[in-house]
Structure 1
Amino acid sequence: MARDQKAKAKAEQAKGKIKETTGRAVGNERMTAEGRVEKAKGDARQAKEKTKDVFKG
């Protein structure tokens, strides 16, 4: 399960980064903001999983 969550975090980060970059390229502020939010969600999920790993080991 933890592997699934880590993969999901990486996917969210990548999707957010792509969306943010695309939004900047076309001048779409909303898309840029949505990308930042998705990337932040991925960062938060990754941090949560790392914290779990620390307490597991």
Structure 2
Amino acid sequence: MGLGDKISNKAEELGGKIKESTGRATDNPNLEAEGQADQASAGVKQAGEHVKDAVKDVKDGFSK
């Protein structure tokens, strides 16, 4: 994945943290849960990017 995707996923994770904190501070469990879901989604996307990067590194190692 490209740098833009990585930045987007990190922004989604940070937005989720803000939502979660705001939900907790305002006693809004729905907002808190939405923030946690955003963070989880970003984490899954980031894990996928790490796998793709690792596969690319392995592929590059074989082509040298």
Shorter chain as normaliser: what TM range?
over 0.9
Show the 5 A alignment for 1:32-51: 32-51=32-51
- Structure 2: unaligned runs, 5 residues or longer: 58-64
Greater length-normalized contact order (CA 8 Å, ≥ 6 residues apart): 1
TM-score by length of 1: 0.94
* TM-score, normalised via structure 2 length: 0.84
| Identical-pair percentage | 44
Instruction: Check whether the contact 1:5–1:45 (CA below 8 A) recurs between aligned residues.
Output: no
2: CA distance between counterparts of 1:38 and 1:29?
14
Q: CA RMSD in A?
A: 0.9
Residue aligning to 1:27: 27
- Size of the alignment, in residue pairs? 57
- Per the alignment, residue 60 of structure 2 pairs with none
Q: Which runs of 5+ in 1 are unaligned?
A: none
Q: Residue 18 in 1 paired to residue 18 in 2?
A: yes
Partner AA of 1:23 in structure 2: G
